Amino acid sequence: MLKSTLLKAVEDGAKILKEYFDKQFVISNKEGINNLVTEVDHKSEQAIINCIKNSFPNHFILSEEVGEIVQDSEYKWIIDPIDGTVNYANGIPICCVSIGIEKKDEMIMGAVYNPFMNEFYFAEKNNGAFLNNHKIKVSHKTDILSSCLVTGFPYTYLDATNGPLQIFEKFIRKGIPVRRLGSAAIDLCWVAAGRFDGFYEHKLSAWDSAAGFIIVEEAGGKVTNLNGDFYSPYQPGIIATNGKIHDEMVRIVNGGSL
């Protein structure tokens, strides 16, 4: 029932995204520049929460817009009703619904659905990762110079030491392609599917990565914090790779040369 509810919740949220996509809707700004939230975020979030509560009224919920709905439960649902809101608000179909489930502080299940590309990713702890019910695996590249990478840029601290711009410059000066899609959840899923060989970002929230990181791990990849240590979605930095270029990625992100 946990899995079926997760899949339905993601689908319910995605229905809202499809209904309003490329149409007129209310857009407002949260704290900081271009930190958008739309009425569609709220509608998608409400549809998702309603679905979860219908089956599991006593589960803890953490969602981007409403925050925490605290319950004394060993289960926590971590929800991003639209990952890639700026894309969505501009009619760019690189966005998704992302939901992860924790049990006793361990991620056990995640689903990410981009309805505009008809890509539904799902993973369960120790049971593999899937795209549209077909098993997926990370890439086999071992040389970072031949890798295709993806990242995201925060709106703050761009000029920090070993910050986003410095690391991006290192890679592109060596001719390494680095993409910027605008949705961390999709970035992670595309690492899991072998499209990208590695992903790094300096500042994410739990709802950005909760589902995606278990999908990468279940596809055979490796996910750590920026220092190469244990990853928790409750801290900001992340490196996710096929595992084969991971140590090199960690070294470069921490100031090493290419």
- Cβ pair 207, 99 in contact under 8 A: no
Which range, 10-14, 70-74, 87-91, is most confident? 10-14
Token digits of residue 63: 């969602």
Domains defined for the chain, CATH in brackets:
2-135 (3.30.540.10), 144-253 (3.40.190.80)
pLDDT of residue 153: 87
Mean pLDDT of 152-159: 75
Token digits of residue 73: 């439960």
Residue 27 has pLDDT above 70, yes or no: no
Question: pTM here?
Answer: 0.95
Amino acid at 160: A
Among 64-68, 147-151, 238-242, where is mean pLDDT lowest? 64-68
**What is the percentage of the chain residues whose pLDDT exceeds 70?**
95
pLDDT of residue 65: 87
Mean pLDDT of 99-122: 98
Helix, strand, or coil here: 251? helix
Cα distances (angstroms) measured from residue 191 to each of 126, 158, 159, 182, 202: 18, 24, 26, 15, 17
Q: What is the 3-state secondary structure (H, E, C) of 69-137?
A: ECCCCCEEEEEEEEECHHHHHCCCCCCEEEEEEEECCEEEEEEEEECCCCEEEEEECCCCEEECCEECC
DSSP for 3-50? HHHHHHHHHHHHHHHHHHTTS---EEE-SSTT-EEEHHHHHHHHHHHH
Measured over the CA atoms of residue 124, residue 128, residue 131 and residue 134, the dihedral's sign is negative
Mean pLDDT of 56-80: 94
Strands 106-114 and 119-124: antiparallel
Residue 121 has pLDDT above 80, yes or no: yes
Burial of 1 (0-12, 13-18, 19+ CB in 10 A): exposed
Among 115-119, 154-158, 208-212, where is mean pLDDT lowest? 154-158
DSSP 145: G
Strands 149-151 and 178-179: parallel
pLDDT band at 115 (very low <50, low <70, confident <90, very high): very high
